[in-house]
Amino acid sequence: MGSFYLSTPIYYASGEPHLGHAYTTILADVLARYHRRAGDDVLFLTGTDDHGQKIQEVAEEQGLTPLELCDRMAERFQAAWDDLGISNDRFIRTTEPEHKAVVGALLERLYDNGFIYESEYVGWYSVGQERYFTEKEIGPDRVDPIAGGPVTKIREKNYFFKMSLFQDRLIEQIEKNPEWIVPATRRNEVLGFLNQPLEDLSISRPRSRIHWGIPIPWDPDQVTYVWVDALTNYVTASGAIDPEATKDRRGFGDPLPSRWPCDVHLMGKDIITTHAVYWPTLLMGANLALPRKILAHGWWVVGDTKMSKSLGNVVDPLALRDRFGTDAVRWYLMREMVTGQDASYTPERFLTRYDELRNIFGNLAHRTLSMIKRYRAGTVPAAPSGGLAVETAAAVAAYRRALDGYRLHEGFAAAMDLARAANGFVETQEPWALAREPEGADELDRTLATLARTLVVLACLFEPVMPARAAELGRRLGLANIPLFEELDGMDVSGRAVRVGTPLFPRVDLG
RNA sequence: GCCGGAGUAGCUCAGUUGGUCAGAGCAGCGGAAUCAUAAUCCGCGUGUCGGGGGUUCAAGUCCCUCCUCCGGCACCA
């Protein structure tokens, strides 16, 4: 039994959960469930990023304290994840005392290692918006992108992390480990980014301007600025650091027994740089191991424009849950998007994918259960069930190869292909014809046993992406639990009482 | 501007190291069957594999060039 630790980013608590958050989180959930099914001890981490200026502002607008706003938003996120069937093991918040202490310990370690210095941050500040904007945000005209007001270049005291010192080590890490950043296109982009000299990273802000943050341990007039605070959550949750211990025993350099390093950090491609550059160099600076893999996925686009409220083109697949159910939406999101690439959402494609689910898989389950009920009084015959042995073994192998390689779409296609093969098996065997002739009884037994067994395999393969429907299928097959992969080979379904029930994926009348 | 990716049947896309690679699914047409959610199964594709040039006995598959589209180029989760 292995161990598997995976994370989503912690989501910024200033706005409502949306498809971008949901996709990452569902992706993580599918991987977490897959690894549990493979027998791994899984730690699946998600949470919220509670600090920062934006939260300070939004809270003020709503007449709340920052923490009250964060409490409210954290609940929203957790409720959203409940609705989507997310099985996270831990929901971390950066306002947790433990996390704040770990951030402090990490900062002290970086400081003691000589990687932090005081300097001045120079940036484009908007007096109207009371905040800095990036070069990209202000554009060539150099106006604040929100109100169009003026921005001025100002300086303020900040602490900086000597990120530049780690540039060569980071490049070496990426070049020697081709699978460390996936997909390859993101890896290339990061390498391209590192082609230019790496600057040092500003990690604090004056408390006078932003009070809602974690104080710098040796200078209470400064608070941590986003990166150290947010990214460190991955280490906090791992248990590698004990901030209460004396400085040389906290776990840096010689990590405490823990889940660190993370097996995979998942995120959208928009924050690849923070995860593939800032975070690894911070870890290097603190003498901690690097995560084993960094996976940046693509975006859902409508037509050819990025999904955006401001564009008014939000057509949200999540809204389809009302009519089609959560599992169907999860299926669509995982099956349709090539893991890592962008994908375009259209209602037509959703319906195609739903029909696949309904007609190929749902119908296979329904016709199989119905035949067992009709021909064998609802009991799976005690007969050899190896009818689709070759196809099943191939499908399971292809599925596991694909999911191990983070090609989820491919794995689920392989599972669906097995369902197609099983439908073909039904046509070839013609159970209805066998049932008419007394001498067909044995063959009919073998056929039904094979189909029942195949459904168990399919329930196992589909469970990570469609946990509720897979569990329901398992119940109808008389199983207490859906088997793990290692249990599939010795699986015996004979003698089980099955229940037909209503279709797993019913026909949905539109309009 | 610099760097990178993509352009394959009506649609969405597969196509390792060059030689049954010209494919799958969906849509369409024809047929079979009736256990099933009018679901299933079988059969049918004359596609300049973006244009042009080159290497090779042989190229979507390598090289050059052109066209089109997309992504990245830091302190924004």
Interface predicted TM-score of the whole assembly (ipTM), two decimals: 0.89
Both tokens assigned to A406: 């983070």
In a domain, A352, yes or no: yes
Evaluate whether residue A326 is within a structural domain. no
A272-314 pLDDT, tens digit per residue, is 999 999 999 999 999 999 999 999 988 887 654 344 333 334 4
Determine the distance between A64 (CA) and B25 (C1') in angstroms: 52
Q: Does residue A28 lie in a domain region? A: no
Q: What is the pTM of this model?
A: 0.93
| A192, part of any domain | no
Cβ of A273 near strand B (distance < 7 A)? yes
More confident residue, A454 or A225: A454
Q: What is the pLDDT of residue A325?
A: 92
Backbone angles phi, psi at A438, to 5 degrees: -55, -35
pLDDT at A349: 81
Strand B, CB < 7 A, residues 305-344 of A: 306, 338, 341-344
The pLDDT, as a whole number, for residue A140 is: 65
Is the CB of A401 within 7 Å of strand B?
no
Distance between CA atoms of A501 and A45, rounded to whole angstroms?
Answer: 36
The answer to whether strand B lies under 7 Å from the CB of residue A132 is yes
Q: In the structure, how far is the CA atom of residue A405 from the C1' atom of nucleotide B56, in angstroms?
A: 35
A8-34 residue pLDDT tens: 999 988 777 888 899 999 999 999 999
Which nucleotide is closest, CA of A346 to its C1'? B12
Strand order in the sheet with A181-182: A90-93, A41-49, A3-12, A264-268, A294-297, A181-182
- CATH number at A374 reads 1.10.730.10
Say if CB A343 and CB A333 are below 8 A apart: no
Instruction: Give per-residue burial for A5-33: e unless 16+ CB within 10 Å, then b.
Output: bbbbbbbbbbeebebbbbbbbbbbbbbbb
Q: Which of A469, A409, A465, A486 is nearest to A33 (CA)?
A: A465
Taking residues A314-329, what's their average pLDDT? 83
Q: Which residue do the tokens 């191939």 mark?
A: A394
Q: Are A265 and A293 in contact (CB under 8 A)?
A: yes
Model confidence band, residue A511 (pLDDT cutoffs 50, 70, 90): low
Residues in a beta bridge with A436: none
Nucleotides of B under 7 A from a protein CB: 3-5, 12-14, 25-27, 32-42, 69-77
Closest residue to B32 (CA to C1') is A427
Specify the pLDDT at position A472: 97
- pLDDT band of residue A150 (cuts 50, 70, 90) is confident
Tell me which residue range forms the domain holding A427.
Answer: 346-487
Higher pLDDT, A347 or A228: A228
Which helix (H) or strand (E) covers residue A263, if one does? none
> How far apart, in Å, are the Cα atoms of A218 and each of A159, A252, A391?
11, 19, 64
A500/A503 Cα distance (integer angstroms): 8
Please check whether residue A431 lies inside any domain of the structure. yes
Please check whether residue A299 is in contact with residue A342, taking contact to mean a CB–CB distance below 8 angstroms.
yes
Asked if A120 contacts A156 with a C-beta cutoff of 8 angstroms, the reply is yes
In a domain, A385, yes or no: yes
Q: Is A278 exposed, middle or buried (0-12, 13-18, 19+ CB in 10 A)?
A: buried
Query: Which of the given ranges, A94-98, A156-160, A208-212, has the highest pLDDT on average?
Result: A94-98
A215 three-state secondary structure: strand
Average confidence score pLDDT of chain A: 89
Mean pLDDT of A378-407: 91
> How many independent structural domains does chain A possess?
1
Protein A424 CA to nucleic acid B65 C1', in Å? 50
The answer to whether residue A430 sits within a structural domain is yes
pLDDT at A139: 67
A140 CB below 7 A from strand B atoms: no
Task: Evaluate if the CB of A432 falls below 7 Å from strand B.
Answer: yes
A367, A476 contact by CB (below 8 A)? no
More confident residue, A150 or A413: A413
Reading the block at residue A330, the tokens are 């999860």
Say if A422 falls within a structural domain. Answer: yes
Among the ranges A251-260, A296-305, A377-386, A399-408, which has the highest mean pLDDT value?
A377-386
Whole-number pLDDT of residue A85: 96
DSSP labels for A13-61? TTS---HHHHHHHHHHHHHHHHHHHTT-EEEEEEEEE--SHHHHHHHHH
Question: What distance in Å separates the CA atoms of residue A33 and residue A29, rounded to the nearest whole number?
Answer: 6
Question: Which stretch, A233-237, A317-321, A408-412, has highest mean pLDDT?
Answer: A233-237
Is the C-beta atom of A185 closer than 7 angstroms to strand B?
yes
pLDDT score of A304: 41
**pLDDT (average), residues A455-474:** 96
A67: its two tokens: 């923490």
With a CB cutoff of 8 Å and minimum separation 6, the contacts of A483 are: A456, A460, A491
Least confident interval from A325-329, A404-408, A468-472: A404-408
Instruction: Return the pLDDT at A306.
Output: 40
Please give residues of chain A from 451 to 480 whose alpha-adjacent beta carbon (CB) lies under 7 Å from any atom of strand B: none
Residue A279 CA from chain centroid, whole number: 18
Distance separating alpha carbons of residues A402 and A293, to the nearest angstrom: 16
Which nucleotide's C1' is closest to A122 (Cα)? B75
